[in-house]
Amino acid sequence: MSEHFGTLSDGTPVHRWTLERAGTRVRILSYGGIVQSVEVPDRDGRAANVVLGFADLAGYLDRPEPFLGALIGRYANRIAGARFTLDGVTYPLAANNAPNSLHGGPAGFDKVVWGGAQAGPHAVRLSRVSPDGEEGFPGRLEVSAVYSLDASGALRIAYEATTDAPTVVNLTNHSYFNLAGSSVATDHELRVAASRFTPVDATLIPTGELADVTGTRFDFRESRKTGGGYDHNFVLDKGVTGEAVEVAELHDPASGRVLTVSTTEPGLQVYTADHLPAPFVPCAGIALETQHFPDSPNRPEFPGTVLRPGEVYRSETVYGFSAR
């Protein structure tokens, strides 16, 4: 189902799609590719929204920085010094997270209206063309994201992109999950299949080390409470895969709700949202951003994020829901 959701100041209309299947109801906006809500039942069958969002378009326009539920690009996470060099050419970017570039810049994919069309009985396809030079990134990028619900009620997001010139691409979804549907998420239990993580400097740029999680607060190989204080990339043991592989589980003991995360990506950014602005409280949700590593364009030792003409960027992430 598609409906009008609001209008930008320049007159551009924004639409909302509702997908419903197997007890899951998801609402998606053409503005920013935002996942506005995900309603799933608890162990007693009571449904609640388990992602942070706003009731109207004004909420997203007035408070853009949390990136609530948004499709992030061209480059998710941070690029050091707001610049990178590709094939001998240096490309300056906006330092919107000084001194670094964050989530594609101040006018990234999360702040544009995407074209949308039904892609099946339980799917919507969002697409756009990012022109050469948008936010400093080279190449004309044709990009799409298909949001769908499978037979189990899992939300699948499948990304594709092609370019007419060498560029870098790293797309993700920035939903904040609160499986209790209220209060804070610090009592949620998290498991991540990652034996290493990327330590960061004072500006949250990786140092280049792939550090062992053993004996540290970054060891989530066995499920435990998250608490707060995390905004770090975990190096998934599986690496880059052609098919989505389960890499994480988030569990709320109070409601019984369980979220599983499967992905083709090699990294998972765990952000406990310690600095959310009003009307949200700190740690109101947990972002589990499937991704390539932060600052990969400046780190040739990290898995590559370069996309060249004739190649197709593909990435898929699956959010599964259940209760126990």
Mean pLDDT of the chain: 97
Are 82 and 95 in contact by the 8 Å Cβ rule? The answer is yes
pLDDT average, residue stretch 127-138: 98
Distance linking the first and last C-alpha atoms of the chain: 30
Other Cβ atoms less than 10 A from the Cβ of 13: the count is: 12
pLDDT average, residue stretch 160-179: 98
Token pair 């990294």: residue: 267
Q: Give the pLDDT confidence score for residue 184 in this predicted structure.
A: 93
* Residue 97 marked as a ligand binder: no
* Dist. CA 203–CA 282, nearest whole Å: 20
Other Cβ atoms less than 10 A from the Cβ of 174: the count is: 23
Instruction: Work out whether the CA dihedral 149, 150, 154, 156 comes out positive or negative.
Output: negative
Count structural domains, the chain. 1
Instruction: Work out whether the CA dihedral 178, 181, 187, 192 comes out positive or negative.
Output: negative
Tell me the CA distances in angstroms from 177 to 180, 195, 281, one per residue in order. Answer: 9, 23, 14
Q: Give the pLDDT confidence score for residue 226 in this predicted structure.
A: 93
Q: CB neighbours of 259 closer than 8 A, spacing ≥ 6?
A: 50, 177, 179, 249, 250, 251, 288, 319, 320, 321
Q: Give the pLDDT confidence score for residue 181 in this predicted structure.
A: 87
Q: Residue 128 is part of a domain; what is its CATH number? A: 2.70.98.10
The C-alpha angle 245, 251, 256, rounded to 5 degrees, equals 125
* Residue 217 marked as a ligand binder: no
pLDDT average, residue stretch 186-191: 96
* Residue 15 marked as a ligand binder: no
Q: Give the pLDDT confidence score for residue 1 in this predicted structure.
A: 83
* Dist. CA 288–CA 265, nearest whole Å: 12
Q: Give the pLDDT confidence score for residue 266 in this predicted structure.
A: 98
Q: Which of 103, 122, 174, 292 is labelled catalytic? A: 174
Residue 58: which H helix or E strand, with range? helix 57-62
Q: Give the pLDDT confidence score for residue 75 in this predicted structure.
A: 98
Query: Is 222 a residue of the active site?
Result: no
pLDDT tens for residues 30-85? 999 999 999 999 999 999 999 999 999 999 999 888 999 999 999 999 999 999 99
Token pair 């995900």: residue: 38
Query: Is 232 a residue of the active site?
Result: no
Q: What is the CA radius of gyration of the chain?
A: 18
Q: Which of 232, 289, 292, 316 is labelled catalytic? A: 289
Token pair 């500006």: residue: 203
Are 303 and 235 in contact by the 8 Å Cβ rule? The answer is no
| Domain membership of residue 214 as a residue range | 2-323
* Residue 176 marked as a ligand binder: yes
The bridge status of strand 141-149 relative to strand 123-130 is antiparallel
* Residue 231 marked as a ligand binder: yes
pLDDT tens for residues 228-268? 999 999 999 999 999 999 999 999 999 999 999 999 999 99
DSSP 51-91: B---SSHHHHHH--TT-TTPEE-SB-SEEGGGEEEETTEEE
The confidence band for 277, taking pLDDT boundaries of 50, 70 and 90, is: confident
Q: Is the pLDDT of residue 183 over 90?
A: no
Paired tokens of 7: 């209008």
